[in-house]
C-alpha cells in the first residue's frame, strides 16, 4: 500500500510552460508539505498545509501555488517555469506536529524530478 504518492515521477518541460505535480496520502494525516531538493541535496520547505489551510509559506516565487482540494491531497502548480526550477520536489505528510511532536514523523513521497530545458 502506498502511503504518500506523487505523480509524475519525472517531468521534463520547456521554459515558460505551466505544470502541475500531484500528491496524495492515505495515512489520514492532517498536515502535508512540499519540499524542493536542489542539486546540492538541501531540502527546503516550500509549503505546509494543515487540514486544507496554509500554515507555512516560505519565500518561494508566487509562480508556485499549492492547492489542496481535501486533506489527503496537496498539489503543486508551477507557472512560467524557469531553468532554476529544475530540482526534485518531494511531498510529505505528518500528523499535526503541534499536537504531539514526538510522533510527528514526516513520511515522504518518492519525489518528482523536474527538468526545465
DSSP string, 45-57: EEEEEETTEEEEE
Tell me how far apart the alpha carbons of residues 33 and 11 are, in angstroms, rounded to a whole number.
Answer: 19
What is the C-alpha to C-alpha distance for residues 75 and 89, in angstroms, rounded to an integer?
11
Q: Round to whole Å and give the CA distance between 51 and 8.
A: 24
Tell me the pairing of strands 107-108 and 43-50: unpaired
Cβ proximity to other proteins: between 41 and 53 the closer is: 41
Q: By C-beta, is 55 or 79 nearer to other proteins? A: 55
Q: Does 49 bind other proteins (CB under 8 A)?
A: no
Nearer to other proteins, 35 or 64 (CB): 35
Least CB distance to other proteins at residue 9 (A)? 10
The answer to whether residue 107 forms part of the interface with other proteins (CB under 8 A) is yes
Instruction: Tell me which residues touch other proteins (CB under 8 A).
Output: 40-45, 48, 56, 90, 97-98, 101-102, 104-111
Amino acid at each position: 500500500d502506498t502511503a504518500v504518492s506523487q505523480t509524475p515521477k519525472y517531468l521534463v518541460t520547456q521554459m515558460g510552460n505551466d505544470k502541475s505535480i500531484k500528491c496524495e496520502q492515505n495515512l489520514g494525516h492532517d498536515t502535508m508539505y512540499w519540499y524542493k531538493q536542489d542539486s546540492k541535496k538541501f531540502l527546503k520547505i516550500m509549503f505546509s498545509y494543515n487540514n486544507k489551510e496554509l500554515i507555512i509559506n516560505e519565500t518561494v516565487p508566487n509562480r508556485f501555488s499549492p492547492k489542496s482540494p481535501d486533506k489527503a491531497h496537496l498539489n503543486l502548480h508551477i507557472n512560467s517555469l524557469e531553468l532554476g526550477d529544475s530540482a526534485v520536489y518531494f511531498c510529505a505528510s505528518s500528523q499535526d506536529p503541534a499536537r504531539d511532536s514526538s510522533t510527528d514523523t514526516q513520511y515522504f513521497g518518492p519525489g518528482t524530478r523536474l527538468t526545465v530545458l
